[in-house]
Structure 1
Amino acid sequence: MATFEEKVQKQVEIIKQRTFLDPTLDMVFKKIFSKDVTLIHFLNAVLHPTEDRKIISIVRKKPASSLMSAIDTEEVRFDVHARLNNGTFVDLEMQRAWHEDFADRMELYADQLSIESKIHFDSQRTATERADHPYLMPTTYSVWICNFPVNFCESYHEELGLFRFSSIGDPDALPVYNKKRYIVIDLSKVDAKVLDLNTAETEWLELFTRMASAKAAPKTSDPIIADVYSRMKVSLHENNFITEIATGMVTEAEISTRIGTARREGKDEARYEDAEAFLREGDSIERVARVLKLPVEKVQELADKIKNAKQ
């Protein structure tokens, strides 16, 4: 059986045979949207704002947020978190695989986004404004790009909100609260017919569904899309970056396999066993905590235990 290092090296070789990096991978996704102009372009494409609400600037917000309870503290880490010039707050997430608590995760992230946004929103208001409208909330968008079939999506682009049950079946129904919005982009439902629409959004959809296997960049008159293809060429990136991508791919694949086995065998403690195994193989505390959905503090304790045992 191949060692972890051998699996990583094999994945590195596979990546180097491609023209472009896979935009659905965590590190690549974040690198794409590290440029403000790119994030602004994407959000204008998928949020469909009216002309007077077009996004022209953003302010990056901290990616990590602590969710505290009476018994534990869990870290919610946003992929891309920003405040827009129109006062809206956005969390942009890339999700590569379905899991049974996906809808709950969406709601948890949206709730935490609302709390973080409310705190910042109130910090920008006067004492009088806060006293007159203490519960006033800013608008938030939780945007999820999903590289798998989402069971509650009928189309490639679904916008969710708070509706009355009595409005079910009414095509003209409006949300009763329009400040907390969800957009789910289901890449599995993107086909040639969708791409033929030839909009800014569908150019992004083509990028997310075809770039990883493309031999050359598609013809486009959009300089932002062209820039992403140019920046994501495999040949432009150093070996260390590609190795880190490959390590993440192998780690997540093996962890997913172990989680599946553990669930079938009913071993909840297997996640901690897996965490220790991957830490011993040199994977980072943050990645193990994120993929195994364990508290960072617990994974840090395991890492300290391993380190002390070696001394």
Structure 2
Amino acid sequence: MTDAISSLRDDTVPEHRRGSGLVRLLLSNEFGLAVLIALAFSAFAVSLPGFVSPFSLFTIGRQIGIDTMIGLAMMAVIVTGGLDLSVGAIGVCAAMVFGYLAQSVGVPLAFAIPAAILFGAGLGFINGYAVVRSGVHSFIITLASMSIFFGVMIFLTQAQSFNELPAAVPAMGKLRLGGKVSVLLIVTLVICAALSVFYRYTVLGRQMLAAGANPKAAKLSGIRTGRVIVSCHMLTGALAALAGLMLTARTGAAVPSMAGQLGQDWLLPAFLAPVLGGTLLSGGRVSVIGTLLGATFVTIMTSGLLLMRVGEFWILACLGLMLLLAVLADRFRQQVLRARGMI
């Protein structure tokens, strides 16, 4: 089973076809993003003196942590070639469940936080089960569930916020290490490390990659692709819930509109980070580090443009253009690597 799974992975290319490691590095999304991040950060640091102040670095790092978590949530379902438009709705619903447990019921945070994450995984299970049982593409299923989850949440909460959470919640959002580094960013880095290990060394992680790379071959090798798809959606739900909790810690309250109407404000960051980072929309390949770098680049660009007082409309237009260019660049990179016999 393990050998069959390994044979389906993108990185099991014969040695004579791998080509120059240096060329592959220079053509990788990670290298390109690292260069763009360095250039953007340097440009804003020179033109905007306040950009590198301790408080600015703290807020940028905190936002990077949240945006990366949102991107990881989408990445977890793109692995199998699926999409989840309900990421924002799940995140908000989980945050509201956390607010209800922590504020109204008085459940200790040690139990309220895992309960909210499990709730998000449960909503992800509903999405995954519906996709597998119906055979309808996840785009349609999650487009519907986005409205359902959000609508039910608004009905049950009457659109009321939970703004009297335990003091430890907003304190976590404000906590910084060394005066500059947000604890929320540290949490995200830990999750990134865990996901890297998960996809590289665990059976389920390799099955997810195999099911995304070649579903038919995965079935022939004995992989139960239906369960794998459901597991991907559950992981997406759990990560979206964690992103919602991080946003709650930043704002100090669980607010129904914290991700926009129906959670749509999360959609662009959710796609931008993994796609910029090199995760294939067709499935079969992920880059956890690339997703982190993609979110970092987007956050730095957004923060710098806001400090330059660029209109929000133009910032959204810029982010949309970045997503389009990222998709085109990915296709070009694949063509170059294929022409050189490296893939």
TM-score normalised per structure 2: 0.25
Q: Going by fraction, where is helix more abundant, 1 or 2? A: 2
Higher strand share: 1
**Higher RCO (CA < 8 A, seq sep 6+):** 2
**How does the TM-score come out when normalised to structure 1?**
0.27
